[in-house]
A = this chain, B = another copy of it.
């Protein structure tokens, strides 16, 4: 009987049980000999010892060195990360690309949960769900038409999406039944592809000026820091809802805070320039804001989708087939996304 292929499983800081449903762990164990497989950080010595026989590495953060280490990994076909992103500084991408070692990220696993919260926040913003609850608890609620000042329907409204990646692909189907015109800005995609996704490609300025709801979903890169700065925020319609999902990195957060405090538009914010946000940050008092503490991608049940993707793609790789579910690192992009999370 031939030996089973070896797979290093070192998901720290995630835990094995959180990432892998028991059925997926059983599948994994049936197809491969799991090396390490513990929740603690894998010691470098153990890692290096396992490397020459490893066909794949599943990790929660790459701390194992560069090209000089991987040179000893003669059977390695895939490095699969379970935290959620490519572009980590120091990772030996070039070596992997040249040697056809697949570098795979679990980030698509988060699309649905981020998209659901994005829609929740957009609808909550359009209908004042959080503030209506707040005044009700204070005993100052007003009923029916009086309680609907400035609310609006999502149906048929122009919606803007900044960054048409995995989150947007999960969000677009959720928006479809609202018959919104979806405006999109994504400099990494050709216009025809944006149109093929049912969106209208637009310069960022036009998108901001026309959309009633704006979703910021772009991956942070070295090129898009404060992409939406003070002047661009000034283009946003009065009474629009600005939904900040991917990273605070993409906006001038001070300027955004001012806009919301002034009542220029409403905002729903899941990510902040510092987390925890200082207790005296003025956005905490903004009537027109809905605040959420980086909660979009951490729903418990969502994590087991990571394990399912890893197990499925590993199954393909071990059968000599290309992976299908995890996101491949792209040579052109990893340099641009080399940012701290």
Binding site for B on A (CB under 8 A): 97-98, 100, 112-113, 116-117, 119-121, 123-124, 126-130, 132-137, 139, 141-145, 147-148, 151-155, 173-174, 176-178, 188-193, 275-276, 279, 284-285, 289-295, 297-302, 308, 312-313, 315-316, 320-322, 324-325, 330-333
A5 shortest CB reach to chain B, Å: 15
A305 shortest CB reach to chain B, Å: 9
Q: Are A151 and B295 in contact (CB under 8 A)?
A: yes
* Complex: A330 Cα to B137 Cα, angstroms: 41
* Complex: A276 Cα to B302 Cα, angstroms: 40
Knowing A117-B127, A130-B130, A178-B174, say if A143 contacts B276 (CB, 8 Å): yes
Q: Are B153 and A301 in contact (CB under 8 A)?
A: yes
Interface of A is mostly: helix
A32 shortest CB reach to chain B, Å: 15
Report copies per complex. Answer: 4
Knowing A295-B144, A321-B333, A324-B193, say if A152 contacts B120 (CB, 8 Å): no
* Complex: A285 Cα to B284 Cα, angstroms: 21
A190 shortest CB reach to chain B, Å: 4
Q: Are B322 and A291 in contact (CB under 8 A)?
A: no
Jot down 13 A-B pairs with beta carbons below 8 A, ordered by A. Answer: A112-B155, A120-B124, A124-B129, A127-B299, A128-B295, A129-B130, A137-B284, A137-B291, A145-B300, A148-B299, A151-B300, A152-B299, A193-B324
Closest to A175 in B: B177
Knowing A120-B123, A275-B143, A331-B100, say if A129 contacts B299 (CB, 8 Å): no
Q: Are B284 and A325 in contact (CB under 8 A)?
A: no
* Complex: A300 Cα to B299 Cα, angstroms: 35
- B residues in contact with A145, CB < 8 Å: 298, 300
Knowing A120-B123, A120-B129, A320-B332, say if A177 contacts B188 (CB, 8 Å): no
* Complex: A279 Cα to B135 Cα, angstroms: 12
A155 shortest CB reach to chain B, Å: 6
